[in-house]
Amino acid sequence: MEAIRQTQKKYCSRALTAAIFAGFFFILIGHSPVGKGLILGTLFSVVNFIIMGETIPLKLNKSKGKTFLFSMGSILFRYLLLAVPLIMALKYEQYNLLAVVVGIFLVQIFILADNFLSMLSSARGKQVF
């Protein structure tokens, strides 16, 4: 469980920090809806990632049927949660829809980037000169 929390802290803090800095940058240059949308999407992405990590242990040591139902309920709840910022972006002009979508995927982007950089560094370490 501690490994899950460390992973959550690592990626969520990086994504949220990047979103806040980028969001404030966009707000300062006059693109407020883009900045607000990026921050909004990232906040919901972080909450989604934390919920996902917290429900993993709840699926262990249960029957196959209960695990399936719990998993489907968890996925449905998380999809509904991620629909909230999308609906807000569609309904209110103060949020940019594309920025919200980017924010929703920001945690996943940081996970992929971290793994890609790890692969690059390990591949460089294996090169023989």
Q: Comparing 24-28, 60-64, 97-101, which segment has the lowest mean pLDDT?
A: 60-64
Asked whether residue 60 is assigned to any structural domain, the reply reads yes
Residue 26 resides in a domain: yes
* Total number of domains constituting the chain: 1
Query: Do residues 15 and 46 make contact, with C-beta atoms less than 8 angstroms apart?
Result: yes
pTM value is 0.86
CA 89-95-96 angle, to 5 degrees, is 85
Q: CA 99 to CA 52: how far, in whole Å?
A: 23
Sign of the dihedral defined by the CA atoms of residues 68, 72, 73, 75, in that order: positive
The dihedral through the CA atoms of 75, 117, 39, 95 has a sign that is: negative
- Asked, for residue 85, whether it belongs to a domain, the answer is yes
How high is the pLDDT of residue 128?
A: 54
Assigned domain for 7 exists: yes
Domain span at residue 47 reads 2-119
pLDDT digits (tens, 9 = 90+) for 28-84: 999 999 999 999 999 999 999 999 988 887 777 778 888 888 889 999 999 999 999
Q: What is the pLDDT of residue 51?
A: 93
Is 96 part of a structural domain of the chain? Answer: yes
Rounded CA-CA distance 16/80 in Å is 21
Residue 129 counted as domain residue? no
Q: Which pLDDT does position 127 carry in this prediction?
A: 63
